[in-house]
Amino acid sequence: MEQRYDRDEVLAAFRPLVLATARRFQGRGASFEDLVQEGYCAMLELLPRCPQSDKLPGYLKSRLPARVRTAAAREWRRYNAEGETDMESIVEPSRPPRVSLARVVVDEILKDDEAELVELLEKGFSQCEAAEILGVTQQAVSARLKKIRKRLRVPLGLEEGPK
């Protein structure tokens, strides 16, 4: 038996959940207002999928955060892919962009395919997404990361070298 919801009542009733979820993922690539909007859009998509009104609160609480988190990550990747710069480089355009010592060490030590993996992860892609882009399995990405971490421990000062 399909349950019909009064959309406006449901949106009003679950407003605190949407706001709390948006606050939780704020600062991860999208503005608070965008995340609230994504939360409401996700709720509208999820409503027809939950035919039992007594299960609706648990259903929304379990699925809404993932939708908002995904939207925040998508915005963060889009922001980084567009090559946005930090505010300092906008205010002082003559200043060359800062390159961290860690980034220089990473570029010098890693092979091209490893550096590509690090760049993908730096841009916010998950291991699964990076695996898909690189044409390998997620397990292969995980194994490569383990090797990369092991190789970078000494140069980045995370472990003492041989004595």
Q: What is the pLDDT along the chain (163 residues), one digit of tens a residue?
A: 445 667 788 888 889 988 888 888 777 667 788 888 888 888 888 888 887 778 888 888 888 888 888 777 777 776 666 554 444 444 444 555 555 555 666 667 777 778 888 888 877 788 888 888 888 999 999 999 998 888 877 655 666 555 5
Q: Could you give the CA distance from residue 21 to residue 39 in angstroms, rounded to a whole number?
A: 8
**Any alpha helices (H) in the chain, and if so which ranges?**
7-13, 15-25, 32-46, 56-81, 87-91, 101-109, 112-122, 127-134, 138-152
**pTM beyond 0.85, yes or no:** no
- The answer to whether residues 30 and 38 touch, using CB atoms and an 8 Å cutoff, is yes
What is the reported pLDDT for 1? Answer: 41
Per-residue tokens: 22: 């948006």
Name every residue whose Cβ is closer than 8 Å to that of residue 14 and which is 6 or more positions away in sequence. Answer: 43, 57, 60
- Paired tokens of 64: 């809404």
* Spatial distance between the Cα atoms of 47 and 54, rounded to a whole number of angstroms: 12
